[in-house]
Structure 1
Amino acid sequence: MASSSSSSCSSSILLLMISAIVLSSVLAVVSASNFNQDFTITWGDGRAKILNNSQLLTLSLDKTSGSGFQSNNEYLFGKIDMQLKLVPGNSAGTVTAYYLSSQGSTHDEIDFEFLGNLSGDPYILHTNAKATESSNSTCGSTPLLISTLTPFSGTPNASCNFSVDGTPIREFKNAESVGVPYPKNQPMRIYSSLWNADNWATRGGLVKTDWTKAPFTASYRNFNANACIWSSGSSSCSSSSSSSSKNNAWISEQLDSTNQGRLKWVQKNYMIYNYCTDSKRFPQALPPECNMS
């Protein structure tokens, strides 16, 4: 994501513990995805690479430039998974963004932004859900790095669910009934980028990027999109699609009581900031979605 995006999600912070040993072993899983078919490298002048017979995509950042890619497909609803290994070691000043976005001045957006830190310190993760110029944020955390984004649901009580390594960290419910815009009308592409933001990313910009550690590298594997592809003005999911079929199970998927409990545990133990508790930011009244159960 371009650096201008930081303002839309800087209010939402999530603490993420990282283990390079665990990540290396998890990322060894064999993938059926093909990055050459599914994605296009969009910038970086050769700093982004597709490797290992199209099973691995890497982004790199040096003092001259970062890099990024986008999906070839647009998605309207779906469950989208990606295994992501962040910059190891001293990653202070760097940002690895992984997000969905439509286009235009009233675009919708659903974000993960991983903020680098000094060696041995945990990453911080921003989450953001934005619809038609309405920005909303909250957060949570889990001990592992594998990032699974489940942005959409096709039910009337839809929600954007964010999870990390299968553990839910945020549920952004559809609150259109109380006047809150919800990202459900604009198809989105998947984007990711690695870039320098040492003016704000680590301890509010106090810790700068150590360019002697460059190039910084993030890696991606095992992409899977169980989703409705948008093409030529229509969706690949017909109205007759059965929500009970294995491939369409995500349509009716909701957080059950077990996952609701895990979500509360994560937010109790790891959440740094929640805009729904920030009375200084909203002195008159909290946003209406904050009052939903």
Structure 2
Amino acid sequence: MNKREYMFSILDFVLVLFLIATVDAMVPGGGGFDENYNVTWGNVLKLNQGKEVQLFMDKTEGSAFESKHKFGSGFFQMRIKLPLKDSAGVVTAFYLTSKGDTHDELDFEFLGNREGKQILIQTNVFTNGQGNREQKFVLWFDPSTDFHTYGILWNPYQIVFYVDKTPIRIFKNNRRYGVGYPSKPMTLVCSLWNGEGWATDGGKAKINWSYAPFKANFQTFSDSGCHADGQKINAKVCGSTTYWWNTVQYSRLSANETTAFKNVRAKYVTYDYCSDRPRYPVPPTECRLNQ
């Protein structure tokens, strides 16, 4: 091998390593549960060769699983079927979170209810440890009878919460106005736990343990996200338009999404911290900017 051929061989090798690293950052794996997630606590049953997982909760404990990787941006989806019948006080959660007192977090929390009453979805956004941005919704279907898809889009422009492809909440990146925006590597977590102290009727409705064990089912374990397994997000990498969720069309809602979003906001919102005047006499800055 002459010197010229040797140099090209070295360059080819470096290029291959670069491509492998890029692909690894883009896609967190296309397999089932075991490839992308770990059980973190409690009783977790794997079904259909790892294509479905069932979480359990009894008087002793609940259960949870989390992604093996942390992420710096992405579009994260989970198909979920909630506990049946009387689930008052039972909380099923699907969320992204970092660690520590100054953590970032993006929450879907499903608040169980008495049989025949509607289950509520509570969403929340934490930035640098500050939350208190709750918005609650009723749904236009019963989420305990079948699977439905819940999604979180997180990119440099906006965070969007989706229910079956319908946007229900937007939190825009308004750092230039002094509003916090998630900037820490976050893990995806799903859990089932006892929230009877607050979840239903302000904690008045307690868990009916005669219905235990409570079960929540999850599907879809291969989500699109930029791996960020270090202490910080590489904004240049995870904000790159190489990833489809960072392209310009995902910087805002489409016309059809905007129409659907306005319909949800008009019909299904039961609580919005932005409208809670006793709590916030002056609404937080982001409330006006997110409209």
Supply the AA of the counterpart residue of 1:291: R
Query: Residue 162 of structure 1: CA displacement?
Result: 0.1
More helix by share: 2
- Residue of structure 2 equivalent to 1:250: 245
Distance 1:275 1:172 in 2: 13
Deviates more, 1:159-168 or 1:142-151: 142-151
Corresponding position of 2:158? 159
The SS at the match of 2:49 is: coil
Paired amino acid for 2:76: I
Q: Matched residues in 2 for 1:170 and 1:288: separation?
A: 16
Q: Distance in 2 between matches of 1:138 and 1:199?
A: 19
Q: Aligned partners of 1:225, 1:235: CA distance in 2, in Å?
A: 18
1:189 aligns with 2:187: yes
Q: TM-score, normalised by structure 2?
A: 0.80
Q: Which moved more, 1:135-144 or 1:33-42?
A: 135-144
Counterparts in 2 of 1:1-293, with a 5 A limit? Answer: 33-44=31-42, 47-135=43-131, 136-140=133-137, 142-144=139-141, 145=143, 146-154=148-156, 158-183=157-182, 185-232=183-230, 239=237, 243=241, 248-252=243-247, 253=250, 254-283=252-281, 285-292=282-289, 293=291
> For the structure 1 residues 259 and 142, does the alpha-carbon distance in structure 2 shift closer, same or farther, using more than 3 Å as the test?
farther
Structure 2 counterpart of 1:287, one-letter code = P
Alpha-carbon deviation of 1:241?
A: 9.0
Q: Secondary structure at the match of 1:100?
A: strand
Distance 1:142 1:93 in 2: 18
Distance in 1, matches of 2:123 and 2:195, equals 17
Q: Which deviations, in whole Å up to 9, do the C-alpha atoms of 1:55-85 show, x marking residues without a partner? A: 1111101111111111101110000111011
CA RMSD, Structure 1 to Structure 2 (Å): 2.1
State percent identity of aligned pairs: 36
**Structure 2: which amino acid aligns with 1:225?**
D
Letter of the 1:189 partner, please give it: T
- Quick one: structure 1 residues 168 and 139, their matched pair in 2 at CA, closer, same or farther if it must change by over 3 Å? farther
Q: Secondary structure at the match of 1:224?
A: coil
Larger radius of gyration: 2
Residue identity matched to 1:57: V
Distance 1:233 1:115, change over 3 A: closer
Tell me, in whole angstroms, the C-alpha distance in 1 between the residues paired with 2:234 and 2:115: 45
Which consecutive unaligned segments of at least 5 residues does structure 1 have? Answer: 1-31
Q: Offset at 1:49? A: 1.9
Q: Is the 8 A contact 2:55 2:63 kept in 1?
A: yes
Q: Structure 1 CA distance, aligned partners of 2:97 and 2:84? A: 27
TM-score calculated relative to the size of structure 1: 0.80
In the TM superposition, residue 174 of structure 1 has moved relative to its aligned partner by: 1.1
Q: Which moved more, 1:212-221 or 1:145-154?
A: 145-154
How far the C-alpha of 1:291 sits from its partner, in A, is 1.8
